[in-house]
Amino acid sequence: DLYSPDFYPRRAALFDDCIAQLQSDAYLATIRENFERKFGLQSPFVFWGTLTKQLLEHALHCLPAEHLRHWFRRLLQDIKANRTGMPDLIQFFPEQRRYRMIEVKGPGDRLQDNQLRWLDFCAEHGMPVEVCYVQWATQSAELCSNQGALSSS
Cα–Cα distance for residue pair 30/39, rounded to 1 Å:
14
Interaxial angle between packed helices 26-38 and 53-62, expressed in degrees from 0 to 180 and rounded to the nearest 10? 160
Residue 151 pLDDT greater than 60, yes or no: no
Which of 41-45, 68-72, 102-106, 145-149 has the lowest average pLDDT?
145-149
DSSP element (H, E) containing 129: strand 129-134
- Per-residue pLDDT tens digits for 65-111: 999 999 999 999 999 999 999 999 999 999 999 999 999 999 999 99
Cα–Cα distance for residue pair 130/34, rounded to 1 Å:
30
Kindly list the distances between the CA atom of residue 39 and the CA atoms of 9, 43, 67, in Å, as whole numbers in the listed order.
27, 10, 23
Q: Where are the domains of the chain?
A: 1-83, 85-153
pTM: 0.85
Query: How much is the pLDDT for 138?
Result: 73
